[in-house]
Structure 1
Amino acid sequence: MIERLKSLEHNRNFEFWTFLEKAYEKNLKLDLGHFKLLSVLLNVSEIYKELSDELGKKDARKMLEKEGMFTKNSEYVSGEYLKKYIERDSRVAVHNRINDLRKLDFIIETKPGPLGGYKLLKTPEWFENLEASM
């Protein structure tokens, strides 16, 4: 499980052309950071669910917190963790990409503040149809 945590962005395949089409419709410019962030948010959600089933929510949360993925005492992916993951110097880069994903109809909850983070709540229907077809 720990190995899976360390390679989050490498085990997702995205239908690039559909993403590009949706971004074009919304006048958004995508870069690799958008895909990395989305991949991490999707994978952390899945891993958290698996760990919760196996260990219980509290222990699963603590494990992800210890790995630096979750912010302290929450189920939100750390903005600091995401910043490092997309290799940027500022959490503003994360915030801007999250806002772009929201414009593509991903529902992402934000927890503000120094211990703030992000939680993917729902993916858009067009994306769910892509995942089902892969």
Structure 2
Amino acid sequence: MIESKYVDIEKEIESMVNRKDFDFWEFLKRAYESNVKLDIGHFIILNILIGVGELYRRLSEEVGKNQARKILEKKGIFTKNSEYVSGEYLKKFIGRSSRVAVHNRIRDLKDLGFEIESKSGPLGGYKLVKTPDWFQ
């Protein structure tokens, strides 16, 4: 079965959380200029959104877009019938009991120029569409 080949997706996601391949000083400068108070949750959520997007593209090339979406949905990463990362899934990485904490950090990231699509409701989630030029 194709899905059994991807049992280590959780480990891959865990490694995404700790990525540090962007300029923290520039990030902090932009946050200061925008009056956004950052915590580690902002970086974790951003890392996951970037990493899941990359993982989804890679899986799509290997098994096709439909199957890739189903694999990520079955793992609880994507919400049902969508390409959006579940707010419920994200909240466990930032140690909060409410999806509102995720929503607030997403709002802050949007204030910093990240283009993130949101899908509301119980099956809601988030998808990183574009990063600001300064983040490149």
Using structure 1 for the length normalisation, give the TM-score: 0.91
Aligned mates of 1:62, 1:12 — CA distance in 2: 29
The runs of 5 or more residues in structure 2 that have no matched partner are 1-7
**Is residue 92 of structure 1 aligned with residue 76 of structure 2?**
no
Match of 1:21 in 2: 29
Aligned mates of 1:51, 1:22 — CA distance in 2: 33
**Is residue 8 of structure 1 aligned with residue 16 of structure 2?**
yes
The match for 1:66 among 61, 67, 74 is: 74
The runs of 5 or more residues in structure 1 that have no matched partner are 129-134
The match for 1:80 among 72, 76, 88 is: 88
How many residues align? The count is 128
Match of 2:134 in 1: 126
AA aligned opposite 1:7: S
Runs of 4 or more consecutive aligned structure 1 residues displaced over 3 Å after TM superposition? none
Once the two structures are superposed, what CA deviation does each residue of 1:8-31 show, in whole Å capped at 9, x if it has no partner?
Answer: 212342311111100010011100
Q: CA deviation at 1:67?
A: 1.0
Q: Secondary structure at the match of 1:109?
A: strand
Using structure 2 for the length normalisation, give the TM-score: 0.90
Instruction: Tell whether the 8 Å contact from 2:13 to 2:48 is kept in structure 1 after alignment.
Output: no
Q: CA deviation at 1:85?
A: 1.2
Q: CA deviation at 1:112?
A: 0.6
